[in-house]
Amino acid sequence: MDIRPLKHELQEKAIRELNEDTGRIQEAFDHIRDWLQKQPHLNVRKDNQTMIAFFRGCKWNLQAVKQKLDYFYSNKNRIPDFYKDRNPLSPEIQKVLKAGLVVPLPKVENYFGPVLIFYNFKNVDVSETPFVEVAKVLFMTLDILLNEDDDTVVSGASFIVEYDQCPLSYFLQYTPTVMKNYFRCLQNAYPIRIKDVVAINSPSVLESVYNAVCKPFMTTKLRERFNLEKWKTKVESYTEWFIEDAKYVSNEKLRIGDTMSFEIDAGIDGTFRNLIID
């Protein structure tokens, strides 16, 4: 069967987390191909590597695979703004690529977790790289990862979004229609498990935009995994807690019994006396 073999750790993860049964793969493929023959509106890639990406992304749930396939290929007609003119050498896409606005981060050796996808909106040029083109490149990136990256297929993807110095005018492009279509593609079509989305250096206006035009189109699961907080803000929110925490210390004047020794030889009777150093 012309499917890339998974590394042992990744195969074990696919069995454990995705319900993969290596003995029933061909049976599942036969079933879905039989179903596809009855779907004349769908012209899909039917090679085994593509098929197994959808099955793994749907945890081998046949009904979910059918829905994903239908959404995946139907969206190209229904939402053409994200899928038309996808020539990587076109000037529009080259601008996004050269600006490094969407980049999967390099993986360390023997890492079997989610792929990290970096959205870099820092100093984005509103006129040169509109959000629709950035989204188009994201979906092109996901297509490539589905084709050749087994870590993405098995472990999913985590998104890190950098908004430092992103002009506020850029958020005017986050219209309800655009965001509705964006999440229809990201959630409903791609067989990739989104593990979390972390926005860093996000301006305060983004929370209002998120609540108004993003959140209504997101699944409950994705909402729970979407984090707009900056760590600096989180730490600052603990100001009163840390001030109050200063009182939670010992008062040695009130200790009953011998004072506890914190000298370097404390505990020597229990451990270090018998320690042999080669």
Domain ranges of the chain: 8-230
3-state secondary structure of 51: helix
- For the record, the structure tokens of 207 come out as 């929370």
What whole-number distance in Å separates Cα of residue 132 and Cα of residue 111?
32
- For the record, the structure tokens of 42 come out as 């769908």
Q: How far is CA 263 from CA 220, 260, 266, in A?
A: 54, 9, 5
pLDDT on residue 272: 41
Give the strand pairing for 115-120 and 194-200.
Answer: unpaired
Q: Collect all residues with Cβ–Cβ distance below 8 Å to 117 and sequence separation of at least 6.
A: 102, 103, 104, 105, 138, 141, 157, 158, 159, 160
- For the record, the structure tokens of 202 come out as 């996000």
Q: How far is CA 210 from CA 76, 213, 226, in A?
A: 25, 6, 10
Alpha helices in the chain (DSSP H): 8-18, 25-37, 48-57, 62-78, 91-99, 131-148, 150-155, 176-183, 204-209, 220-224, 231-237, 239-245
Q: How many helices (H) and strands (E) does the chain have?
A: 12, 5
pLDDT on residue 134: 94
Please provide the CATH number assigned to the domain covering 8-230.
3.40.525.10
What whole-number distance in Å separates Cα of residue 156 and Cα of residue 139?
14
pLDDT on residue 155: 96
pLDDT on residue 190: 95
- For the record, the structure tokens of 103 come out as 């980049």
* Residues facing 119 on adjacent strands: 102, 161
Mean pLDDT of successive 10-residue stretches along the chain, which has 278 residues: 92 97 96 95 93 97 96 91 90 90 86 91 85 94 92 95 89 93 94 92 82 84 69 65 70 67 47 42
What whole-number distance in Å separates Cα of residue 224 and Cα of residue 140?
25
Cβ(134)–Cβ(96) below 8 Å: yes
Q: Quick one: 149 exposed, middle or buried, by C-beta within 10 A (0-12, 13-18, 19+)?
A: middle
pLDDT on residue 74: 92
pTM: 0.79
Residue whose entry in the numeric block shows the structure tokens 């009777």:
269
User: Would you tell me how many other CB atoms lie within 10 Å of the CB of residue 145?
Assistant: 20
